[in-house]
Structure formats: C-alpha cells, structure tokens
Amino acid sequence: MTTSTMKTPAKSPYWAGVRDGAPFILMAVPFATLFGVIATDAGLTLAQAMGFTVLVIAGAAQFAAIQLMVENASIAFVLLAALAVNLRMAMYSASLVPYLGAAPLWQRACVAYLNFDQTYITSVARYEARPEMSVSDRVAYFFGVATPITPFWFGMTLVGILAGQAIPDAWALDFIMPIMFLAMVAPMLKSIAHIAAAVMSVSVALALNSLPAGTGLLIAAGAAMLTGALVEIWMERRRA
C-alpha cells in the first residue's frame, strides 16, 4: 500500500517536471544574481530591478535593455532591441500550439508568462518523446519545470541587488555583461547560417557604431537575420 502511494509523486507529470527543471537552478542562480548586481550598478532602484525580473522574466533581453540604458539610447531603441532579443519566443509559442493549444485560456496565459528558454526546451523534448501525454499532463509538466527555476530567478536577483550596492567600482563590472552575452551566443553558433548571421551582425554594428546608440544595432540585427535565413535556404538547396 505504501509503495503504491509512494510511486504516485514520481509518476505525476508535475513532479517529473520539477525533477527535470531542477538542474536549471544552477544556471538561474548566477544569471539572476548578476542581473541584480548589474542593474544596481547601472543605477536602477531595487523596485525597478525587481520589476524587470518579475515582469519581463527573460535574461538576455533584460541584460540587453540595461546595456542600452547605460548607453542612454532613446526609449524606442531600448524597447526595440530588447524585444527583438525576445522574438525567438514567438517561435516557441508557435511550436507549443500543437501540444497545448487545447488547454484553457488561463493556463495558456500562465504557460506564456513562464515560456523561457529552459522551460520551453525541456517541455518540448518531453512532449515529443511521449506523444501519449494528455493536454492537462503536458500543462502540469510545464508548470513543474518552471517551479524550481522561477523562485530562484526572482530571489537571486534580490540578492544581487543587495550585493551590488556593496561592490566597489574597482571590480570592473562593466565587462561582466559583454562576457555574459558572448557566453549566451557562443553555444548557439551551431550552423554555418548562425555563424554567418553573427558575423554580419558584428560587421554592420561596428561599421555603424558612430550612429546614435541603438540605431546601428537595429540595422545590424535586421541584416543578420536576413543573412541567417538566406544562408539556411542556400545550404538546404545545396544538400537537396
């Protein structure tokens, strides 16, 4: 009798999600702490830095916004560049439709709020491996994956904010952000098309660096997206 009740938690899709999401705590902790430190260093108040983390809940875009704000870019450019970093999530959203499209609206809204790289990648891998999962099991699994990550994301930002107020300028925190961006991008350079897009982005951004903050970046990003897509098509044709 005890064995059967003991087995239930392990079998429940929610707890399976919690188990699969737990390793990402390792990643959320340093990221969130650094965001808190850097946002404070840039001059945001505690409430503003926490507002970012809770409302936006997307690491790369949050760092991108802070970077452009440090450069005093116009508000429109800050928003455009930071939201462009998040455009990939439209793709995540589209690819979840076949699995979660039949769930109630409030559940889909909650999934949307929690739909970041780690929850998305982990959940889709599970849905693909287990096509027999019901829609409610899939939703439960998704929330399970988000459960260990989200509180650490919020909590460690707060720790970073409090620590950031105590860190002296001599620590040269200015370069932590470039390192984080490079670290996020490097593992994504997995095809010639990705590399071509990155090279185009760098070249155009450097060439247009004298334009007002954010302008060159937007042109560079547009050119780079186009480059990636065109190289991808070209590679497919070559293979075919």
Q: At its nearest, how many Å lie between another protein and the CB of residue 136?
A: 16
Residue among 22, 25, 189, 235 that touches another protein (CB under 8 A): 189
Residue among 9, 75, 162, 212 that touches another protein (CB under 8 A): 75
Site residues for another protein, window 99-138 (CB under 8 A)?
100-101, 105, 108-109, 111-113, 115
Contact call for residue 184 and another protein (CB under 8 A): yes
Nearest to 181, CA basis, from 205, 155, 158: 205
As a whole number of angstroms, the distance between CA 127 and CA 134 comes to 10
Q: At its nearest, how many Å lie between another protein and the CB of residue 64?
A: 6
Number of residues that make up the chain: 240
CB 154 within 8 A of CB 126: no
* Residue whose entry in the numeric block shows the structure tokens 């959320």: 28
Site residues for another protein, window 81-100 (CB under 8 A)?
81-94, 96-98, 100
DSSP H helical segments within the chain, as ranges?
2-11, 13-21, 25-42, 46-55, 59-70, 75-85, 88-100, 105-113, 117-129, 135-164, 176-185, 192-207, 215-239
Site residues for another protein, window 198-217 (CB under 8 A)?
198-202, 204-206, 209, 216-217
Contact call for residue 149 and another protein (CB under 8 A): no
Tokens standing for residue 160 = 């970073």
Residue among 1, 6, 129, 182 that touches another protein (CB under 8 A): 182
Q: At its nearest, how many Å lie between another protein and the CB of residue 20?
A: 17
Contact call for residue 72 and another protein (CB under 8 A): yes
Contact call for residue 179 and another protein (CB under 8 A): yes
Identify which of residues 99 and 137 has a Cβ nearer to another protein in the complex.
Answer: 99
Nearest to 70, CA basis, from 199, 211, 206, 178: 178
User: How many residues belong to the site for another protein (CB under 8 A)?
Assistant: 96
Q: At its nearest, how many Å lie between another protein and the CB of residue 60?
A: 7
Q: How far does Cα 98 stand from its chain's mean position?
A: 22
Q: At its nearest, how many Å lie between another protein and the CB of residue 110?
A: 10
Write each residue from 26 to 65 as x if it is in contact with another protein (CB under 8 A), else as -, in one continuous string: xx--x-----------xxxx--x--xx--xxxx-xx--xx
Q: Which residues contact 216 (CB under 8 A, 6 or more apart)?
A: 204, 205, 207, 208, 209, 210
Identify which of residues 155 and 216 has a Cβ nearer to another protein in the complex.
Answer: 216
As a whole number of angstroms, the distance between CA 143 and CA 210 comes to 45
